[in-house]
Structure 1
Amino acid sequence: MARMVMIKATVRTLGKGFLASSQDAFCEMLGNTASLTLVSPDLNEGTQQPKLSNKCELLLWGAEPNGVDACSTVIFYVESSFGKPGAILLDSHYANEFYLKSITLELPYEAASPLYFPCYSWICPTRLAHCGQPRILFSNQMYLPNETPTALLQLREDDLLAIRGDGKGKRVHGERIYDYDVYNELGNPEENQDLTRPVLGGSAMYPYPRRCRTGRNRIKTDIELEEPELAFDKVYVPRDERFSDLKKNLFMNAGVRSFCTYFLVCAKGRLLYRDQSFACIEQIHRLFADNNCHVSGSKKPSRPISKFPKPGVLEVNKDVWITDKEFGRQCLAGKHPVAIQRLQVFPPSSKLDTHIYGESISSITAHDLTPSLQGLSIKEAMNQNLLYILDLHDSFLPFINRINEQEGKLYASRTILYLTKEKVLLPVAIELTLPPKVNGEKAHSRVFTPDPSFCHPCLWMLAKNHVAIADCGYHQLVSHWLRSHACVEPIIIATRRQLSTMHPLHALLSPHFKDTLHINAMSKTSLINAGGKVEKHYSAGRYCMEITSVAYKSWRLDEESLPKDLIKRGMAVEDKSAKHGVRLLVEDYPYAVDGLELWAAIRQWVKDYLILYYGDDQALQKDSEVSNWWNEIREVGHADHARADWWVSMKTLDELVEVVTTLIWVVSAYHAAMNFGQYAYGAYTPNSPCMSTCLIPEEGTARYAEMLSNPEKFLLEMVPPQGATALTIAVLELLAQHLDEEEYLGERVDPRWNCDARVLAALDDFRENLAKVEAGIHARNASSHLPHRRGEAGGLPYTLLVPSSSTAGLTFCGVPNSISM
């Protein structure tokens, strides 16, 4: 008779409150509990099926408290030849879900270390799982598909099949089904025809990344459209992608505080029923608390509930926003430092159809620029890489007529900037354009310069404001939402569907996808939906998402790489002798300088990690899961770009390293730079208004004379009124802050996520490199020779790419692992 040995399992779950624990106790009384079964890595010689232990009962009632967790003990008896378990089957018949953190097995063999299963997953009743099958849990031992122990191969496949679903039916809370759909739920035409929006994705006219499928019913009047989910936070999200209860509470508390401030501001100003413009800029200042520092390194402040925190740009100097130096600096170190390009052709021209939009050549002339070029000709300035452009012309011009029929008003803009001999970037000409009234005729363009003999200072200020409005919209819609949130969502879905949890690439990427599907789902019901906050508070209005669809036509995953993005925009050139293989043409470009340091650290970590599992290119080519993952990203998740020739073949380790580095860069550093500066720069309306209610009057009109006689009054009538501004501030405060539960770059929620000591050593190296990056950023911010780092007033350093954040709140620093806000 075979000798039996004991294996002790310690099951760590998240502790429950009294009511939930009582329900567990009731279930146990009825015999509805959970059970665990160990799976050997070896096959049974007779049946050629995996060896299984006896099924042992897991009881949650009476588990031993351990901080916020609870620990239960399960004892197994297996034959001595059973081997080291490679998987655990968990079958739950509890009425409620429970959160399983880990299972630790104490093995009977001499010198055997405990076997650890990092789970971090919600365990729902088995009846909700695919075909009623139990959950399959794997240890922290990573395997490539072709290296998986034979007995675990089918379980590996079964675990993936369980979360793919069949593309049918309505998804319900508790399920773990990952599938794709187009954006067909943003509109709500059954409530109001004005809320009709096109389907995004699946057509040449409106291409788009895919979203997570929810399977809600189609509306009665159009079977192409899905019923919108009108209740907040009720959209289906696979269970493990949802916020933790702690984060949800933190998020809701932060939202309540922000919106309470909004309501108090409106009540105080009697704006609840009739909104009105600000009477003076000082009235905007009074929205914010005094002495409310949120610059990196500051302590978390307290403030009166009736006041918003003071934005960083206002805290530095209440008038700095109006200067040309600050305008130029924010193109390199503001909330949107990724739109500026080097001017390589003058005059700039459009790529739009001239039969519709008229002459493609810009109206900006050499006469407009020469006075600001310090004695240089345009050709000389371009040859010396001193001219740059913020070109939002083609992105908006096709929409301008429709946009301007709404409340919000917008121009298609071009802004040319000059890098002076003092190495300061300054705007030197702005072109604001409206489409021709008749197709093919010349567009209506107006050019403004800082020369007071050519352009009244009031006009120059207002022209900069209109550029800021267009830039603000492009930042939020394209650079922020589209390029990070939307384009990453299908990649997360493909990762869950095609890479086993025991795949080393899944383990590497998993923390970088935390909470993204949930924050995206909430955005679809309150921010980017028809009539949502984005449409209400940005000039593009109902055309916001269409604009992102047009932008997606030119999206390329390979160009989301920071070095390639800089080269594409002409802000850098390839240089193998340079530190990171590229040489910046504006040396004092804070986003790029800090970003390249972070990019290099991320890339080194990715390379060090992946080379431990792939010794050569052939090992990658044998990996069926990575091949399926890459094919699904290209052909399903980003199906509207499936036939593009820029996708890599994914046959070499270098290609995999580049793609994974790009993904981690986008969800961590890039998103941090796009998101967490929104409040510091955007909450102060004069600095970065998100909407204009009127255009600049034409010379000779009565409105033009009124504007010149009182520019401040005109500006305050042009930007959103008090109530709308307060609501925008509340939204930005919520979105731009870190919560206490945040996990930052280099952090892992579980130090035992991987059992390979070489991996853990490489992660320690990554953390050391991040610390060096952080020290370098602080050193550059302290330099008096880098004017773009702190601005003219010297008080708002560029800290958005500082990897860590010592506190929660509006810290203006810290790079989270994922798009979690």
Structure 2
Amino acid sequence: MAMNRYKQKIVGGEESWIKGVVVIVHDSGKSGPAKSVSLQFYSATELDHNSGKGKLSKKGKLEEWKRKKKSDGRTIIGSYKIKLKVEKGFGIPGAFLITNQYNHKFFLREAFFQTPNHSQIIHFDCNSWVYPINLTNDSHYLFFSNTSYIPSKTPSPLMELRKMELAKLRGDGRRETMEERERIYEYDYYNNDCIGNSQEQSTPIIGGSSSLPYPRRLRTLHPSNLDSSSEKMDIEKYIPADERMSHNKVKELASNSVEAALQFLIPTIKALNYQPNTTDHFKSFVELHCFFWAQKPSNLAKADIWTKLEVQKFLPQKLFQQILSQKHPFLYPLPQFLTENEHAWMDDDEFARQMLAGTNPVRITCLHNFPPESKTKVVSTIKASDIEHSLDGLTLQQAIVERRIFTLDHHDYLMPLLNRINSGDVFAYASRTLLFLRSDSTLKPLAIELSLPYSEAEGEEISWVYLPAAEGLEAALWQLAKAHVAANDSVYHQLISHWLHTHAVVEPFIIATRRQLSVMHPIYRLLNPHFKDTIHINSLFRTFLLKPDGIFEKILFSGKFSMELSSELYKEWRFDEHGLPADLLKRNMAVRDPDPGNPTGVRLIFPDYPYAEDGLEIWTAIKTWVKSFCSIFYKDDDSVHSDEELQAWWSEIRNVGHGDKPHESGWYEMATLSNLVEALTTLIWTATGLHAAVNSGQYAYASYPLNRPTLCHKFIPSEGTVEYAEFLSDPDKYYLETIPGKFETALAVALTEVLSHHTMDELYLGRSSYNWTDNAKARHSFSEFSKELKNIENRIEERNRDPNRKNRSGPAKIPYKLLLPDTSNFSPKGGIRGKGIPNSISI
């Protein structure tokens, strides 16, 4: 509506004038840029033969029109008019230069201008920071209109500008420091500058070698001269200004972190007499439950002096005072395990169901052979006789043929690291869990095998097999075995499913997009919404979670070997297996379906697999939208193959961004339109549906240590040992001393709360600004995409109400909503939601 009002104001005028409106966001305490900002236009249709670029207009200055204070009270949205005379025959504006002689930076949100002949409105969706001229090496910033062109279709007046702008973003790779106001995208390894703070905490370089391969990350050099307004939580790393989260989001993220610390972490530290490394175990299950139930809503302004002093160590004074001034109470919902069924964590059916609908539904595999295949020299010690009595009258071979035997395998990748991991205060096994598919599509655990290296030199192992039991000591041992499996799965989830397979693998795609695809490129416009805030959140992730002595080192049994473990599993990663249908085929959870009416090309081997069933619908909607969009700009395979920017982009992703795996067979050749559609669908799915599935449910499932312990402090005791005698005397005490202690639990709960929290300015799949493209066909296709997501949402809700779909809720009574697109309500919402697919990896 506001856009339409602006349009009405700029229609009319003489033919030799360009009139328009520029929308700028700036600090409320400042007077506004107005006449301190000038614009010049480049023609998209008329070439200046002397410069080789479009005709350049004279400068025109902005004139203030109207101002509106944003709801945050900190910023002003200023709408500025401009009227600029151009010579007759100037043509249609295709780009503009903006020069800021104002003393402060501002955020250029958008602009729109009437062409000199009044025939159309040209839109510019800018969304970029513009810094004062005295702080930059360049005298201007260049912005292109929302009209997209593949390189061969670019109007000749814009071709040179297109190339120049890309060259500026790439940098020269020789800078020792970079400033926030610069827009330079270069690659780097995961080195000490990235995840270490000192020589004492130095870590091996991850990436750049066959032994420790890894995706590249953005080069984030320390700036030489920090702006006084920089937030401490950014840890003074360079991030291009356009990649930074908004001030409001930084504030909200800091506030969420503070609230979580106040409610769970800081009181625990105080109780431990300021010794966070103390392992203070829960004395009883009642005490553990009270840890959650006793957390009372409070206001930070009422926090005691000690708490305030601790919090202030992490935040700048200005931001801390803003958080203090918030009126709303700090109120978190209890983990759903406590509100619905506090005993669900003990239930074998719930233990199995979470492999299909919990926080890590991407590891379970249908078994084709028995014993399970292994890359190590020792095969599984689980015997057919251990499990055949639980197969509903089938033999083991019959159950395998009918695709009813499944495994959760955390064995091979852990074995080489276990001796080093277990040298500290954690006690970890490698595990294999076997399960049976009942006729109602629920899974029944059959056996758990836990293994340790016996002779690392000879590759020998020692293994123990535990079977389900309902009572007695066998039941207590079984619960301990499940705790170790859950710890394995928790570490795999955080380091691989969540961090590596979404955050880390996507970052090189973002860097390559900025370096190789012009903002005029249609693929840039398609992908850009799915990259929002990812560079910044990844930087914070590395700074707080991955660094030596960081949060992961404190709460995951992998400890200081976490990045090495992540690197080991990156060796198995293939881009072409990252798409959902391909992933399901790889894990034997689906079979190929030749039915031309099935757009996914696969059929699930059983229907009640919530992650896959919902995910395939989201995947199909994304692919349909991507295919429709790409077909507007690429008419045949040759137009894809001959797109020089697209080919450079894909080559850089393969050979630089994922440069440790350039020649492996997991990369499409990018020679056809179908290659392009499949690659883009995989990338968008990764940044949206996959990330939502493995991230947003963490508070519901992983905040409760009985359900998802992240480490174990004891092995399962063997008969005849002192530990076994301790276990016999009090199995509950032994169990509580095995799972994480109070500090580890408090840290994990605070972390899952922050990671599951959607901020108020979150953008969701299927939403976009009205003027993101001037192409009417693209806008229509996107509208159809949004409608289909709404239909999917309705079908998911219907499935969740179906009592025959027992895996949709299970004993925990937590409906599967992680892949609800959330298109039904367009109002801003924040908090721990457990649903909604964000448009990007933004937390």
TM-score of the superposition, structure 1-length normalised?
A: 0.91
Cα 1:95–1:240 shift into 2, 3 Å = same
Q: CA deviation at 1:309?
A: 2.7
Q: CA deviation at 1:59?
A: 6.1
The yes-or-no answer on 1:320 pairing with 2:344 is yes
The answer for unaligned runs of 5 or more in structure 1 is: 219-228, 294-301, 355-359
Partner residue, 1:208: 214
Partner residue, 1:34: 37
Q: CA deviation at 1:642?
A: 0.9
Cα 1:730–1:66 shift into 2, 3 Å = closer
Partner residue, 1:808: 830
Partner residue, 1:486: 504
Q: 2:641 aligns with which of 605, 621, 634?
A: 621
The CA deviation string for residues 98-145 of structure 1, in whole angstroms up to 9 with x for no partner, is 1001111123424x232111101011234655x525211111111111
Q: Is the 8 A contact 2:92 2:116 kept in 1?
A: no
User: For residues 235-250 of structure 1, what are the structure 2 equivalents within 5 Å?
Assistant: 235-250=237-252
- Once residues 339 and 804 of structure 1 are traced to their aligned partners in structure 2, the CA distance between those partners, rounded to angstroms, is 26
- Once residues 217 and 69 of structure 1 are traced to their aligned partners in structure 2, the CA distance between those partners, rounded to angstroms, is 29
User: For residues 170-181 of structure 1, what are the structure 2 equivalents within 5 Å?
Assistant: 170-181=177-188
Partner residue, 1:221: none
The yes-or-no answer on 1:667 pairing with 2:687 is yes
Q: CA deviation at 1:215?
A: 3.5
The yes-or-no answer on 1:234 pairing with 2:258 is no
User: For residues 668-817 of structure 1, what are the structure 2 equivalents within 5 Å?
Assistant: 668-748=688-768, 750-792=769-811, 795-804=813-822, 807-817=829-839
Cα 1:289–1:13 shift into 2, 3 Å = farther
**What amino acid does structure 1 have at the position aligned with 2:17?**
M
Secondary structure of residue in 2 paired with 1:803: coil
- Once residues 252 and 534 of structure 2 are traced to their aligned partners in structure 1, the CA distance between those partners, rounded to angstroms, is 16
The yes-or-no answer on 1:641 pairing with 2:661 is yes
Cα 1:192–1:279 shift into 2, 3 Å = farther
The CA deviation string for residues 439-483 of structure 1, in whole angstroms up to 9 with x for no partner, is 216311000011469971111110001000000000100111001
The yes-or-no answer on 1:182 pairing with 2:189 is yes
The CA deviation string for residues 300-340 of structure 1, in whole angstroms up to 9 with x for no partner, is xx9974x7531123322000110110011000000000000
Q: CA deviation at 1:756?
A: 1.4
Q: 1:541 aligns with which of 559, 570, 576?
A: 559
**What amino acid does structure 2 have at the position aligned with 1:540?**
S
Partner residue, 1:57: 61
Partner residue, 1:156: 162
Partner residue, 1:260: 262
Cα 1:281–1:192 shift into 2, 3 Å = farther
- Once residues 286 and 571 of structure 2 are traced to their aligned partners in structure 1, the CA distance between those partners, rounded to angstroms, is 43
Q: CA deviation at 1:271?
A: 5.1
The yes-or-no answer on 1:93 pairing with 2:93 is no
The CA deviation string for residues 631-673 of structure 1, in whole angstroms up to 9 with x for no partner, is 0000110000112133211010000000000000000000000
The yes-or-no answer on 1:21 pairing with 2:31 is yes
Q: Is the 8 A contact 1:329 1:788 kept in 2?
A: yes
- Once residues 443 and 453 of structure 2 are traced to their aligned partners in structure 1, the CA distance between those partners, rounded to angstroms, is 30
Cα 1:659–1:149 shift into 2, 3 Å = same
Q: 2:580 aligns with which of 553, 562, 565?
A: 562
- Once residues 604 and 206 of structure 1 are traced to their aligned partners in structure 2, the CA distance between those partners, rounded to angstroms, is 37
- Once residues 506 and 269 of structure 2 are traced to their aligned partners in structure 1, the CA distance between those partners, rounded to angstroms, is 40
The yes-or-no answer on 1:79 pairing with 2:87 is yes
Partner residue, 1:389: 407
Q: Figure out how many residues of one structure are paired with residues of the other and give that number.
A: 780
Q: Is the 8 A contact 1:350 1:361 kept in 2?
A: yes
Cα 1:163–1:45 shift into 2, 3 Å = closer
Q: Which stretch shows the higher mean deviation, 163-172 or 504-513? A: 163-172
The yes-or-no answer on 1:309 pairing with 2:325 is no
**What amino acid does structure 2 have at the position aligned with 1:88?**
F
Secondary structure of residue in 1 paired with 2:368: coil
Q: Is the 8 A contact 2:712 2:738 kept in 1?
A: yes
Q: Is the 8 A contact 2:110 2:127 kept in 1?
A: yes
- Once residues 48 and 291 of structure 1 are traced to their aligned partners in structure 2, the CA distance between those partners, rounded to angstroms, is 67
Q: Is the 8 A contact 1:144 1:504 kept in 2?
A: yes
Q: 2:138 aligns with which of 108, 114, 132?
A: 132
Cα 1:157–1:82 shift into 2, 3 Å = same
Q: CA deviation at 1:44?
A: 3.0
Q: 1:511 aligns with which of 524, 529, 546?
A: 529
Q: Is the 8 A contact 1:164 1:178 kept in 2?
A: yes
Q: CA deviation at 1:5?
A: 1.4
Cα 1:342–1:292 shift into 2, 3 Å = farther
Q: 2:601 aligns with which of 574, 581, 590?
A: 581
Cα 1:412–1:285 shift into 2, 3 Å = same
Q: CA deviation at 1:286?
A: 1.8
- Once residues 87 and 615 of structure 1 are traced to their aligned partners in structure 2, the CA distance between those partners, rounded to angstroms, is 26
- Once residues 448 and 545 of structure 2 are traced to their aligned partners in structure 1, the CA distance between those partners, rounded to angstroms, is 31
**What amino acid does structure 1 have at the position aligned with 2:759?**
L
- Once residues 160 and 430 of structure 2 are traced to their aligned partners in structure 1, the CA distance between those partners, rounded to angstroms, is 57
Secondary structure of residue in 1 paired with 2:126: strand
Q: 2:384 aligns with which of 366, 370, 392?
A: 366
- Once residues 485 and 328 of structure 2 are traced to their aligned partners in structure 1, the CA distance between those partners, rounded to angstroms, is 33
- Once residues 262 and 694 of structure 1 are traced to their aligned partners in structure 2, the CA distance between those partners, rounded to angstroms, is 24
Cα 1:47–1:417 shift into 2, 3 Å = closer
The CA deviation string for residues 761-812 of structure 1, in whole angstroms up to 9 with x for no partner, is 101100111011111111000001011111025x211100000175321111
The answer for unaligned runs of 5 or more in structure 2 is: 1-13, 71-75, 225-230, 298-326
**What amino acid does structure 2 have at the position aligned with 1:701?**
T
Q: CA deviation at 1:267?
A: 6.2
The CA deviation string for residues 144-191 of structure 1, in whole angstroms up to 9 with x for no partner, is 111111111011111111111101211211111111011112688784
**What amino acid does structure 2 have at the position aligned with 1:165?**
G
Q: Is the 8 A contact 2:263 2:295 kept in 1?
A: no
- Once residues 744 and 157 of structure 2 are traced to their aligned partners in structure 1, the CA distance between those partners, rounded to angstroms, is 61
Q: CA deviation at 1:57?
A: 2.5
Q: Which stretch shows the higher mean deviation, 750-759 or 65-74? A: 65-74
- Once residues 17 and 765 of structure 1 are traced to their aligned partners in structure 2, the CA distance between those partners, rounded to angstroms, is 39
Q: Which stretch shows the higher mean deviation, 714-723 or 444-453? A: 444-453
Q: Is the 8 A contact 2:194 2:220 kept in 1?
A: no
- Once residues 64 and 188 of structure 1 are traced to their aligned partners in structure 2, the CA distance between those partners, rounded to angstroms, is 43
The CA deviation string for residues 334-373 of structure 1, in whole angstroms up to 9 with x for no partner, is 0000000011111113213x3xxxxx21111112111211
**What amino acid does structure 2 have at the position aligned with 1:445?**
S
- Once residues 725 and 644 of structure 2 are traced to their aligned partners in structure 1, the CA distance between those partners, rounded to angstroms, is 70
The yes-or-no answer on 1:658 pairing with 2:665 is no
Q: Is the 8 A contact 1:335 1:675 kept in 2?
A: yes
Q: Is the 8 A contact 2:223 2:238 kept in 1?
A: no
Q: Is the 8 A contact 2:196 2:548 kept in 1?
A: no
Secondary structure of residue in 1 paired with 2:24: strand
Partner residue, 1:198: 204
**What amino acid does structure 1 have at the position aligned with 2:186?**
D
Q: Percent identity?
A: 40
4+ residue runs over 6 A deviation: 186-190, 290-293, 452-455
CA-based RMSD: 2.4
Partner residue, 2:47: 43
Q: Is the 8 A contact 2:498 2:695 kept in 1?
A: yes
Secondary structure of residue in 2 paired with 1:262: helix
Secondary structure of residue in 2 paired with 1:79: coil
Secondary structure of residue in 2 paired with 1:277: coil
